Amino acid sequence: MINFALIGNQNSGKTTLFNQLTGSNQHVGNFPGVTVDRKDGYILGYKDRVITDLPGIYSLSPYTNEEIVTRDFLLDEKVDCIVNILDATNIERNLYLTLQLIELQIPMVLAINMMDEMRTNGGTIKINEFSRAIGVPCVPISAAKNEGIQDLVHEMMRVAVNKIRPEKIDFCAGAVHRCLHGISHMIEDHAVAAGLPRRFAASKLIEGDEPLAKRLNLTQNELEMIEHSVVEMEKECEMDREAAMADMRYCFIENLCRNTVIRPTVSKEYLRSVKIDSILTSKYFAIPAFVLIMGLIFYLTFGPIGTFLSDGFALIIDWIINYISELLIQFEINPVVHSLVVDGIFAGISSVLSFMPVIVVLFFFLSILEDSGYMARVAFIMDRPLRQLGLSGKSFVPMLIGFGCSVPAIMATRTLSSERDRKMTILLTPFMSCTAKVPIYSVFALAFFPNHAAEVMILLYATGIVVGIGFAMILKKTVYKGAPIPFVMELPNYRMPSAKSVLLLMWEKAKDFITRAFTIIFLASIIIWFLQSFDLRFNLVEDSSYSILANIGQIIAPIFAPLGFNDWRAATALITGFSAKEAVVSSLAVLLKTSADQLPTMLSSMFTTASAFSFLLFTLLYTPCVAAIAAVKREMGSVKSTIALIVTQCAIAWIIAFIFYTCASLIL
């Protein structure tokens, strides 16, 4: 078995190359213990050569989740060969990571990508000289055009089999050189004991990398000596330690590129990007353009196309359910089992699966935005306002998707690189009122605010956002202290996304979703069916108002007395809303024994105007549905924080509805 690791900056073409190398024989999952996407695949034509697509990173410092995952992967797993992919049109920035990878002394090949763009703009790289100067074999490729891939595979095999490590070139000079080599000799024994390359260990120590220092197990004495020698270097260079190291690397890169890289004349792609950016990120048009683009995507996803697909999909599922139902009847299966399968399991799974087309369509658009380079700009535009809330610009898109559905929104937080930013975003997403709540709002608006339906809707959405902002402020002051990671991403040129990458991503999301539907949702559906179908003595009930669920509703109804609706039917409906928010309306209809069109009239006998709005506020803010909770649990990786989220949200919902109802009853 030979293991390759694919490493490079974001948008350097990693995913495109990975897909070229593996075809579609890939396995998608997470790194053990953390939720950062991991993809493994066999290289086409080789059954025993595995390549792993690692997250896009800019350096090997332990600042972001991605960097930590990548570093641990390289240091702890048996990687036989690193494939470092570089964007030729941005080679200086990309080489910054390469220099750190060289220090690891793992066999390595450089895949210099985007050569098509480079060449059409009159640029080139003198590959042989370049390769000699950096001491690593290089292969020019174009992942998108499938050029040079065979040569790359060939070179990868040669390097891996013969264990050709990067040459030990000394790319430092002056004060940094003295400091680096001094420390490197001093810690040699510790580095060997910890299984780390000594030069890598030394440069990370200079950069003040604490996790690594711990790993080396240095004595107090040694730590002090290192500190002294670093301070000495800082004085001599007149720069702080990190800047001095960065400067040293960039000096080497500059020298290297001066002699071996012929820079392209200002590239077509660059000029095009500048032109597009002069509208899309300009002072006045940036936000309107963004609103327009997102509006269009939302309209297409949740509007006609999405509805068409969802309806079509629902039709197919219905047909399957009916078919199975007939089959069960034909074989005279016990009616209870029939009910369990049809009303419980299938109904539950299909209610979740019916989201799937929408999610796949949404991810289709999002992956186009991402690959084209627009997403980086959105994050850049929104960074400043969100920073005030303790979030970074990248949190914006997931929260926006939350207005459609929390499930893909929570899945989309994977694009955030710091664990802190990611968790905060996940916790905030459920405050963005999702589309599944719209049926509830419209039924109530029709019943109680027939002339002000739109205002009520807007008020509810706004309340969700305001409460979310408040919650973010509190999180920032308590659980998630500290600043969001600084925005360092450079804006890549706009590029045509590759169809293969987009399609593969859609398939991954769909697969992910289906797996979830058949695990956690499966269980939850059985439980809810059971509670709905049996009474306390475990007799099957005809009328769901005698079921265990209704009993639970009766027990918890008094909790809602201060909110104005001490009614077991309202309580039961809220419980069923846990499975899916649309269920609140359908349960109310079932419990009130009425049809959907009569529902508004029946509701007016159950609620007053004030208690109706209080009910709406509660529905807006209380726990998200099972599917969303399952997503939270998976992405947070902790049951405790998931339960904490549910409890907190219910508490917030109760308090806000209580405040509203108390004020309303005092005024009216």
Q: Chain centroid to CA 620: how far?
A: 24
Part of the chain binding ligand GDP (CB under 6 A), chosen from 14-22, 100-108, 387-395, 646-654: 14-22
Q: How far is the CB of 7 from ligand GDP (least distance, A)?
A: 10
Per-residue H/E/C for 248-313: HHHHHHHHHHHHHEECCCCCHHHHHHHHHHHHHCCCCCHHHHHHHHHHHHHHHHHCHHHHHHHHHH
For residue 351, the partner it binds in ligand GDP, Mg ion, none, with Cβ less than 5 to 8 A by kind, is none
Q: How far is the CB of 89 from Mg ion (least distance, A)?
A: 17
DSSP annotation of 398 reads H
Nearer to Mg ion by Cβ, of 15 and 417: the residue is 15
Q: Which of 371, 421, 582, 635 binds ligand GDP (CB under 6 A)?
A: 371
Count of residues interacting with ligand GDP (CB under 6 A): 22
Q: How far is the CB of 98 from ligand GDP (least distance, A)?
A: 15
Write the interaction track for ligand GDP spanning residues 462-501; mark x where CB under 6 A is met and - where it is not: ---------------------------------x-xx--x
Which 3 state secondary structure label does DSSP give 28?
Answer: strand
- Kindly state whether residue 433 participates in binding Mg ion, applying the rule CB under 5 A: no
Phi, psi of 81 (to 5 degrees): -160, 135
Q: How far is the CB of 68 from ligand GDP (least distance, A)?
A: 18
Part of the chain binding Mg ion (CB under 5 A), chosen from 7-15, 128-136, 306-314, 604-612: 7-15
Element (H, E) at 566: none
CA distance 511 to 505: 10
CA distance 572 to 580: 13
CA distance 388 to 473: 9
Q: How far is the CB of 11 from ligand GDP (least distance, A)?
A: 4
Q: Chain centroid to CA 162: how far?
A: 38
Which 3 state secondary structure label does DSSP give 142?
Answer: strand
Which 3 state secondary structure label does DSSP give 97?
Answer: helix
Q: Which of 5, 8, 9, 15 binds Mg ion (CB under 5 A)?
A: 15
Nearer to Mg ion by Cβ, of 387 and 414: the residue is 414
Give the strand pairing for 37-42 and 81-87: unpaired
Alpha helices in 23-114 (DSSP H): 65-76, 91-103
If 0-12 CB within 10 Å is exposed, 13-18 middle and 19+ buried, where does residue 439 land? middle
CA distance 42 to 297: 35
- Kindly state whether residue 144 participates in binding ligand GDP, applying the rule CB under 6 A: yes
Cross-strand partners of 147:
142
Nearer to ligand GDP by Cβ, of 64 and 501: the residue is 501
For residue 10, the partner it binds in Mg ion, ligand GDP, none, with Cβ less than 5 to 8 A by kind, is ligand GDP
Nearer to ligand GDP by Cβ, of 12 and 642: the residue is 12
Question: Which structure tokens are listed for 54?
Answer: 């690692």
Cα–Cα nearest to 646, from 577, 590, 583, 586: 577
Nearer to Mg ion by Cβ, of 15 and 94: the residue is 15
For residue 11, the partner it binds in Mg ion, ligand GDP, none, with Cβ less than 5 to 8 A by kind, is ligand GDP
Q: How far is the CB of 502 from ligand GDP (least distance, A)?
A: 9
Q: Which of 4, 5, 7, 10 binds ligand GDP (CB under 6 A)?
A: 10
For residue 107, the partner it binds in Mg ion, ligand GDP, none, with Cβ less than 5 to 8 A by kind, is none
CA distance 289 to 551: 52
If 0-12 CB within 10 Å is exposed, 13-18 middle and 19+ buried, where does residue 478 land? exposed
Nearer to ligand GDP by Cβ, of 89 and 525: the residue is 89
For residue 501, the partner it binds in Mg ion, ligand GDP, none, with Cβ less than 5 to 8 A by kind, is ligand GDP
Q: Which residue is nearest to Mg ion (CB)?
A: 15
Q: Which of 14, 199, 204, 422 binds ligand GDP (CB under 6 A)?
A: 14
Q: How far is the CB of 207 from ligand GDP (least distance, A)?
A: 24
Nearer to ligand GDP by Cβ, of 23 and 295: the residue is 23
Q: How far is the CB of 135 from ligand GDP (least distance, A)?
A: 24
Nearer to ligand GDP by Cβ, of 14 and 437: the residue is 14
CA distance 609 to 604: 8
- Kindly state whether residue 142 participates in binding ligand GDP, applying the rule CB under 6 A: yes
User: Do residues 497 and 366 make contact, with C-beta atoms less than 8 angstroms apart?
Assistant: no
Q: How far is the CB of 123 from ligand GDP (least distance, A)?
A: 13
Q: How far is the CB of 633 from ligand GDP (least distance, A)?
A: 27
Which 3 state secondary structure label does DSSP give 75?
Answer: helix
Between residue 28 and residue 47, which ones bind ligand GDP under the rule CB under 6 A?
none
CA distance 149 to 167: 24
The amino acid at 167:
E
CA distance 81 to 406: 39
Q: How far is the CB of 85 from ligand GDP (least distance, A)?
A: 7
DSSP annotation of 575 reads H
If 0-12 CB within 10 Å is exposed, 13-18 middle and 19+ buried, where does residue 458 land? exposed
Q: How far is the CB of 151 from ligand GDP (least distance, A)?
A: 14
Between residue 104 and residue 133, which ones bind ligand GDP under the rule CB under 6 A?
113-114, 116-117
Which parts of this chain interact with Mg ion (CB under 5 A)? 15
Contact set with ligand GDP (CB under 6 A): 8, 10-16, 56, 113-114, 116-117, 142-145, 371, 495, 497-498, 501
